[in-house]
Structure 1
Amino acid sequence: MRAPENLLADCGSCFGLCCVALPFAKSSDFAVDKAAGEPCRNLLGDSRCGIHSTLREKGFRGCAVYDCFGAGQKVSQSTFAGRNWRQQPSNSSEMFAVFPIMRDLHELLWYLADVRDRDSTAPLHNRIGHEYDELDALTESAPEVLLSVDVSGLRSQINELLIEASDLVRTEVKGKKKNYRGRDLIGAQLAGADLRGASLRGTYLIGADLRRADLRLADMIGADLRGADLRGTDMLGSIYATQFQIGAARGDRATRLPESLARPSHWA
């Protein structure tokens, strides 16, 4: 799929919500602890990041790969009609509470968009389109409506459809397919592995060696690719992959990505 414009982050149209609303825990991904609702020390008055070009070097790798799926600008410019939390502090707590909910809704839209136009999911196109339209309409709701959304229940409901779609997509690969759903494959040696049509849903692939592996038509939803080596890996046609996952991994010019994803600038 081509990534829908409304699901791509536009930081210039956002009030730095991910830098304020979300909590950080000091770790290898974040150099400092930060409470939810507390502005990051690197956030400038114009909502830009003061160390954007050196985030990785200064210990903020998590910020470098974070993706809101376009929720930031949606909350800033649509839900709150351009009313900045700095100029109208009375909006702040509600805006910060709405942001992670909107982010979850936009993530679900991303997954639905990935399978709604594939030939193999034709039997589900009407259902996928209906769920997408319903969810998209929900994102246009007022703050009080968004705050009442049962995100967990909604995710479970849509996940059933996503699993059906995944099964149809992966049947394009003939024969038995590997199922690593939820498995711990941290640091696994999978270089050159044939993982076409595999289920990697929720699989821990932190630091895994996936060089030159074949991940075409694999289900990538929730797979943890932090530090995974994707140099020369073929991910064309894989489903439910996100920019966040790709940004957290390592790759190179030989890595083949789905059309919806951009090659990270830090890759070789």
Structure 2
Amino acid sequence: MSENQEYLVPFPDKRRRNLRADCETCFGLCCVALYFSASEGFPIDKEAGQPCLNLQSDFRCSVHKSLKERGLKGCLAFDCFGAGQKVSQVSFGSRDWRKLPESAQQMFEVFLIMRQIHELLWYLTEALTIQPARTIHDALSAMLIEKECLTHHSPDYLLKLDVAEHRADVNTLLLKTSELVRAEARRGQKAYSGRQKTFARGACLIAADLRGADLNGTDFIGADFRAADLRGADLSKSIFLTQAQLNVAKGDTNTKLPSSLTPPMHWD
């Protein structure tokens, strides 16, 4: 058994796949529903509900392969956690906003809500792979099922959700997960080789030099990784790291990542 296998417990890959963007089955919702600002790395300034100038008739991006070269960091960073395809295929039954313009605004608003719920599902899914949190896996599983059920309700139901309340419910368990990771580290368990783990929730890591750093066991919820240098860093057993955070950081082939994440295409 490898060190990573000692740290992770088995969990179906299918759930992770459902929490990754599948642009082929989405109606380009992130390119329409979101407010864009050119100063934040998007193609233009645009209002929410207005299609991006690069959105094609097939809902694909005409400049997707050259986002880095064009400096479109906002586009590179965004991750819908699979909310786009859920709204497109489930909430609206494969009916796109161009064919049903009367439903377009509702679809965009539901997408913004669904994206937040799917983000919570991502964190809960990750928490269930963390061995030190095994004592609360039942509670995490119950919470995951509860929040997953929300995503299958009607658009009208979703628009009435108090997302902040659901986020607070989930956060209670995520904080407990983080505490259990640090507690096990203090006990010098083999999975952590006795190293002290840190708590970087909401940390401002903009342009931080983290080259070669051992960041295993670090809680990164809400941390700002814009232009952070992760070359050679070991994040293989960090917790609650997301693809969106990696997408705005610098890294290379020596950067070690959790198995659930992939090196961004623009890394060295």
Under a length normalisation based on structure 1, what TM-score does the superposition of the two structures give? 0.90
Q: Does residue 1:205 correspond to 2:217, yes or no?
A: no
Letter in 1 for 2:140: I
CA distance in 1, matches of 2:78, 2:40: 14
Inter-CA distance 122–95: structure 2 relative to 1 (3 Å threshold):
same
Q: Is the 8 A contact 2:21 2:80 kept in 1?
A: yes
Q: Does residue 1:23 correspond to 2:35, yes or no?
A: yes
Q: Is the 8 A contact 1:195 1:215 kept in 2?
A: no
Aligned counterpart, 1:187: none
SS at the partner of 2:205? coil
Q: Which has the higher contact order (CA 8 A, sep 6+)?
A: 2
Which of 111, 123, 147 is the matching residue for 1:135?
147
Q: Is the 8 A contact 1:219 1:238 kept in 2?
A: yes
SS at the partner of 2:38? coil
CA distance in 2, matches of 1:164, 1:94: 36
Which of 72, 76, 88 is the matching residue for 1:76?
88
CA distance in 2, matches of 1:196, 1:36: 44
C-alpha displacement of 1:4: 1.1
Aligned counterpart, 1:164: 176
CA distance in 2, matches of 1:23, 1:264: 24
Paired residue total: 251
C-alpha displacement of 1:169: 1.6
Letter in 2 for 1:22: L
SS at the partner of 1:152? helix
Q: Is the 8 A contact 1:234 1:257 kept in 2?
A: yes
User: Gaps spanning 5+ residues in structure 2: where?
Assistant: 1-7, 189-193
Inter-CA distance 196–87: structure 2 relative to 1 (3 Å threshold):
farther
Q: Is the 8 A contact 2:185 2:195 kept in 1?
A: no
Percent identity between the aligned chains?
48
CA distance in 2, matches of 1:77, 1:88: 14
C-alpha displacement of 1:59: 3.4
C-alpha displacement of 1:28: 4.4
Kindly provide the CA deviation profile for residues 166-218 of structure 1, in whole angstroms up to 9, marking residues without a partner as x.
Answer: 11122232279xxxxxxxxxxxxxxxxx9852100000000000000110010
Describe how 1:140-151 pairs up with structure 2 within 5 A. Answer: 140-151=152-163
Q: Is the 8 A contact 1:171 1:197 kept in 2?
A: no
Aligned counterpart, 1:55: 67
Aligned counterpart, 2:231: 231
CA distance in 1, matches of 2:182, 2:222: 17
**Structure 1 segments (4+ residues) deviating >4 Å:** none
Which of 103, 115, 119 is the matching residue for 1:91?
103
C-alpha displacement of 1:57: 2.2
CA distance in 2, matches of 1:195, 1:32: 45
Q: Does residue 1:32 correspond to 2:44, yes or no?
A: yes
Q: Aligned-residue CA RMSD in angstroms? A: 1.7
Letter in 1 for 2:132: S
C-alpha displacement of 1:115: 1.0
Letter in 2 for 1:91: S
User: Gaps spanning 5+ residues in structure 1: where?
Assistant: 177-193
Aligned counterpart, 1:185: none
CA distance in 1, matches of 2:40, 2:107: 28
Inter-CA distance 252–70: structure 2 relative to 1 (3 Å threshold):
same
CA distance in 1, matches of 2:229, 2:222: 17
Kindly provide the CA deviation profile for residues 13-53 of structure 1, in whole angstroms up to 9, marking residues without a partner as x.
Answer: 10000000000122141242010000000100110001111
CA distance in 2, matches of 1:109, 1:196: 28
Q: Does residue 1:258 correspond to 2:258, yes or no?
A: yes
Which of 44, 59, 65 is the matching residue for 2:56?
44
Q: Which has the higher helix share?
A: 2
CA distance in 1, matches of 2:151, 2:218: 29
CA distance in 1, matches of 2:123, 2:28: 24
